[in-house]
Chains A and B, each alone.
Chain A
Amino acid sequence: MDNIIDKISDISGENIYACYQCGKCSAGCPSVEQMDILPNQVIRLIQIGRVELALKSNAIWVCASCFMCSVRCPRGIDLSKIMEALREIHLREDIDHIDIKDVRRENVYELPQIALVANFRKQTG
């Protein structure tokens, strides 16, 4: 698929253009403090065709799919699925966000398996 906006819509199954930028997703997101751009800005960048800026942001990786935005969106958009689609665009091009080799051995013993499996599932392809 050549058109990247179509690709995001296709992977996420969400209508990007339904968003009217009320900002409720960003108001409720527990992770905004650690994000370089706000969740509503991620979707706005896609709407105006600046997908490369959304793809470059750390916001898409900080998002851990807690679904706060998805249950509060007045337009019924599941932004967590759009965040996943943006991550997937990197991962499907074989660009992992983390290198598993960087995880230190002592941390592997300390971390619960669900942390490791979830992390590798979300951040490697």
Chain B
Amino acid sequence: MKVLYYPGCTLKTSARNFEDSAKASMKILGFELEELERWNCCGTVYSLSSDDLMHKLAPIRNLIRVKEQGDNKVVTLCSMCYNTLKQANELFREDEDARYKINSFMEREKDYEGDVEVIHMLTFLKEVVGFENVSKKVKASLSGLKIAPYYGCLLLRPRSAAIDDIENPTIMEDLLKALDTDVVDYPYRNECCGSYNTVNEVGLVVERTYKMVNIARSSGANIIVTSCPLCQFNLDARQKEVKEKYYDFQEMPVVYFTQIMGKVLGIDSKYMGLELHYVKPELLI
């Protein structure tokens, strides 16, 4: 079965292991991720100003592309893309005035009514594939892994974009358990990694990463799993700066949930992209 899929920019560069492992895993599960034609940048961050409609054009254009391809559902992997597309879609569903103005402004596009469904891959795996069916395809057992699932912000907040309970989500844990892996409970799994502050406030992100990795380790984890290429970068690559500041710091690998899934389902190692990680996930090699 074909599934229309929106990749976003970073899945074509630093997070191509996220896309590759997802595509290969989905193939084993019987689904082919078909890339949306002529997709553009999602905008990355959803504009929170009520009078700023201009920055909502980019995500909406992508949803118009979905309609053009004769579909009404689009699946995303990157948490930031998911959140931006989802929030823009919600605006179109709820705010008639904004919808009218944006539709009028985009003269060369067909009017859009907010009728595309923006779905994160975790939701797709839960509701369409079914975790029980994922479970049936488990090939390799990953003993020794103690996984700390990291949600971050954008899969859970704001409320209109939440893929699960905003304070106590279990969707990632449920998937990982279906994959026959050990999951660790720990605090801060829903907190912000520092996000784009990593460009001009590296120190801020270093403190955050130090705190996150240490709390995951003291809770018994030896690997962190995420769904966001920016969380992945901050929690993984910034460990270099953390080590320079804290001599007693012990590194921990940070991978995408699709890489755990891929390993367990037995995808070819060329789709794992482990060379892209700063801290090498030895347990997945």
B-binding residues in A (CB < 8 A): 10-13, 30-31, 33-34, 62, 64-68, 70-71, 78, 80-81, 84-85, 88, 98, 102-103, 107, 110-119, 121-123
Cβ of B125 < 8 Å from any Cβ of A? no
Q: Which listed residue, A13, A34, A68, A119, touches B199 by the CB 8 Å rule?
A: A119
Which residues does chain A contribute within 8 Å of B191, judged by CB atoms? 30, 66, 68
Task: Flag if A84 contacts B48 (CB, 8 Å).
Answer: yes
Which residue of B has the minimal Cβ distance to A103? B199
Q: Number of contact residues on B: which range applies?
A: 35 or more
What is the distance, in angstroms, from B54's C-beta to the closest C-beta of chain A?
12
Majority DSSP secondary structure for residues of B touching A: loop
Which residues does chain B contribute within 8 Å of A114, judged by CB atoms? 8-10, 44, 78, 80, 196, 229-230
Cβ of B43 < 8 Å from any Cβ of A? yes
C-alpha spacing A65/B48, complex, angstroms = 9
C-alpha spacing A118/B231, complex, angstroms = 13
Q: Which listed residue, B51, B153, B196, B229, touches A10 by the CB 8 Å rule?
A: B51
A-binding residues in B (CB < 8 A): 8-10, 13-15, 41, 43-45, 47-52, 55, 78, 80, 152-153, 157-159, 166, 188, 190-192, 194-201, 204, 207-208, 229-230, 233, 237
Which residue of B has the minimal Cβ distance to A58? B201
Majority DSSP secondary structure for residues of A touching B: helix
Most buried by B among A80, A111, A123: A111
What is the distance, in angstroms, from A42's C-beta to the closest C-beta of chain B?
15
Task: Flag if B49 contacts A112 (CB, 8 Å).
Answer: no
Task: Flag if B9 contacts A113 (CB, 8 Å).
Answer: yes
Q: Which listed residue, B45, B48, B153, touches A12 by the CB 8 Å rule?
A: B48
Task: Flag if B45 contacts A122 (CB, 8 Å).
Answer: yes
Which residue of A has the minimal Cβ distance to B158? A67
Q: Which listed residue, B15, B207, B229, touches A34 by the CB 8 Å rule?
A: B207
Which residues does chain B contribute within 8 Å of A121, judged by CB atoms? 43-45, 47, 55
C-alpha spacing A50/B151, complex, angstroms = 36
C-alpha spacing A56/B166, complex, angstroms = 32
Task: Flag if A115 contacts B158 (CB, 8 Å).
Answer: no
**Closest 4 CB pairs between A and B?**
A67-B157, A13-B50, A66-B192, A118-B196
Task: Flag if B233 contacts A115 (CB, 8 Å).
Answer: yes
What is the distance, in angstroms, from A29's C-beta to the closest C-beta of chain B?
9
C-alpha spacing A21/B139, complex, angstroms = 54
Q: Known interface pairs A12-B50, A80-B48. Does A119 touch B200 (Cβ–Cβ under 8 Å)?
A: yes
Task: Flag if A112 contacts B10 (CB, 8 Å).
Answer: yes
